[in-house]
Amino acid sequence: MEKENCDYKAPVKNQDALGTNNDYDTIIIGSGAGGLSAAICLARAGQKVLVLEQHDVPGGWCHSFYLNGYRFTPGVHYIGLLNKGGSTSTLYEGLGIANDISFFRMNPKAYEHCWIGDKRIDMPAGYDNIKEALSRQFPEETKGIAKYLKLVSDVSYELQLIPKVKGFWAHITIPFRTKNMGKYSVFSLRKVISKHIKNPLLKAVLNIQIGDHGLPPSRTSFPLHAAVMGHYSNGGYYPIGGGGALVKAMTNALKKHHGEIRTSQKVKKILLKGDKKKKAIGVQLENGENIFAKRIISNADPNKTFIDLIGKNNISNKLNKRLSKTKYSCTSLMLFLTVDMDVRKAGLDSGNIWMMEHEDLDAIFEKTQKIDILDGDIFPGMFISCTTLKDPISFDGRYHTIEAITYINHESFSAFKNEEDIRSEAYLTFKEKLTVKMINTLEKAIPGVSEKIVQKELGTPITNEYYINSTNGCVYGTEKSFWQIGPFAYKSKSEIENLHLCGASVLSHGVAGAGYSGVETAAKILNCRQEDLIQPDDSQNIRIYEAEDDSEYPEWMQKKIQVKKDRLAAGVGGFPEVQ
């Protein structure tokens, strides 16, 4: 639909405060990146919007939390395409939050460190730099590297082109403009890369970002992986203030447009009316309160939405059948540490570390999915991130924060799924054993770290379900396999009248993908196009600084860093000496 037929209204300046009754235009269940993006777009268009969040802080996977004053963010480890004109930058400009957020660029020479067995290979920012670096290390693969990266770049570009196509003739010609994506859409990553690359180690390096969608090369759609590589084609960036800074900017933008957000408000069910044709009319909270609205958007995954909030008896046999066949992404163990050691001296920088015990990533993934996860002393793969190096403002001059993640099968925790909020001794013992195994694995990357830990906490699938309310504690919504992405993914408009979806299971996963899903859902509601709601804005600019170079940090940043160091020196915060 062309813009002149769009119901979207431009932002109204100095709009009067809206009423305080319980009737809303739109209620959004969940305050993840998708829910907040949709809320901003709808509130800006003049709707009365309410966002309900079951956790005591907003943000979903983007939220940050503190342990004894040290910050951790479970779901934001890096973001791509923040360069001016990049899709993520355009998203934040279009939402009107770009001026309110800042990022550190992670080590451009090695934003990804691939530690495979005893090999250490760095992934620099930029396709040309990747091609040069890898060709130097694998000279016999030079031609294959160039062809493969060109294909990745082309498919990634074509995927970004599709939402921007408008007009009859543009749609007619789309097959010719996206020929690479169409050609390789049914091919696995393993099949495509094997056509171009022969060296097993090099394949593993180029496939290392499977961790960003949680599937092995043999089960990954090549276009999906190309989209992930394309997202980080200019390197990785970390938000100053962690994921919570993004959430703060988005909630402030929502409030600016008179939207409302309530935390610690768990939705018990979605209220319906009608017999044959069901229509969503509101929600009921766990405390029994009913709140009514013209429409509902669920930022929860399809299982939570249709089974838990709607109920099997209220949806069609077709949808019930689909839900029973829907697979969800893997879940994880997340180790959060504060350490008293010089991590740079130990070999860390602002780049991520992907540590794999060998080059067969399919075999490693299958091993991670074993139900007996206590078997063995270490995990076969681990993602390692030092947030105090990614976000130097957060470093107090002594104590570093580390986040280490490994994927597991949620069935490993099946014995504990029905426990109440107070955890059993069996669960706590199991969790402690897993913590030891996680630290043993981390020792492979940071020798001696186990002796320098001053605080630790382990997040499990049970933790994910409790705080994020995701099915089986999944980390990427629905599994991103061939028949659950693209045209086969869940649509923003559901079979229930006035019930819409957004989030990682709808358009795309990740911080930016989920954010765009919210914009897409808002566009459907406002009867316009995504690009009508998200426009590049020269008055909005994301500030980006170098994590590895403090020579150009502004005065306010230098003062903030110094204040942290002074507070620690004065004995405010910090920990006792590690024995």
Tokens of 295: 């429409």
- 568 and 456 share one domain: yes
- The pLDDT assigned to 296 comes to 98
Residue 468 lies in a domain: yes
Give a yes or no: residue 73 inside a domain.
no
pLDDT in tens, the chain (579 residues): 333 345 545 444 333 333 334 489 999 999 999 999 999 999 999 999 999 999 999 999 999 999 999 999 999 999 999 999 999 999 999 999 999 999 999 999 999 999 999 999 999 999 999 999 999 999 999 999 999 999 999 998 887 765 554 543 333 333 444 566 667 778 899 999 999 999 999 999 999 999 999 999 999 999 999 999 999 999 999 999 999 999 999 999 999 999 999 999 999 999 999 888 899 999 999 999 999 999 999 999 999 999 999 999 999 999 999 999 999 999 999 999 999 999 999 999 999 999 999 999 999 999 999 999 999 999 999 999 999 999 999 999 999 999 999 999 999 999 998 887 788 999 999 999 999 999 999 999 999 999 999 999 999 999 999 999 999 999 999 999 989 988 889 999 999 999 999 999 998 899 999 999 999 999 999 999 999 999 889 999 999 999 999 999 999 999 999 999 999 988 876 776 654
397 and 457 housed in the same domain: yes
pLDDT in tens, 531-545: 999 988 999 999 999
Specify the pTM. Answer: 0.92
Residue 539 lies in a domain: no
Within this chain, do residues 335 and 198 fall inside the same structural domain, yes or no? no
255 domain residue, yes or no? no
Backbone angles phi, psi at 399, to 5 degrees: -95, 130
Compute how many other C-beta atoms are within 10 angstroms of the C-beta atom of residue 513.
23
Domain boundary among 233, 255, 273: 233
Are residue 369 and residue 493 in the same domain, yes or no? no
Q: Is residue 41 part of a domain?
A: yes
Q: What was the pLDDT predicted at 4?
A: 32
Q: Are residues 369 and 407 in the same domain?
A: yes
pLDDT of residue 417: 87
- Res 163: pLDDT: 55
Query: Can you state the percent helix, strand and coil of the chain, rounding each to 5?
Result: 40, 20, 40
Task: Examine the domain organization and report whether 576 and 470 are in the same domain.
Answer: yes
Specify if 448 maps to a domain: yes
**CATH code where residue 390 lies:** 3.90.660
User: Is residue 155 assigned to a domain?
Assistant: yes
Domain that holds residue 569: 110-125+330-475+555-579
Residues 349 and 421 in one domain: yes
Nearest of 202, 144, 194, 213 to residue 479 by alpha carbon: 213
Beta strand 260-262 with 237-239 is unpaired
Question: The domain that contains 10 carries what CATH number?
Answer: 3.50.50.60
512 closest CA partner among 61, 49, 158, 1: 61
- Closest among 385, 405, 397, 392 to 340, alpha carbons compared: 397
Give yes or no: residues 405 and 447 share one domain: yes
Judge if 188 and 290 occupy the same domain.
no
Give the count of domains, the chain: 3
Do 428 and 522 belong to one domain? no
How many Å apart are CA 548 and CA 537, to the nearest integer?
29
Q: Any residues with CB less than 8 A from the CB of 366 and at least 6 apart, and which?
A: 216
117 found inside a domain:
yes
Task: Of 432, 334, 267, give the one whose Cα is nearest residue 76.
Answer: 334
Burial call 423-445: b when 16+ CB within 10 Å, e when fewer: eeeebeebbeebbebbbebbeeb
321 and 377 inside one domain: no
> Does 497 share its domain with 461?
no
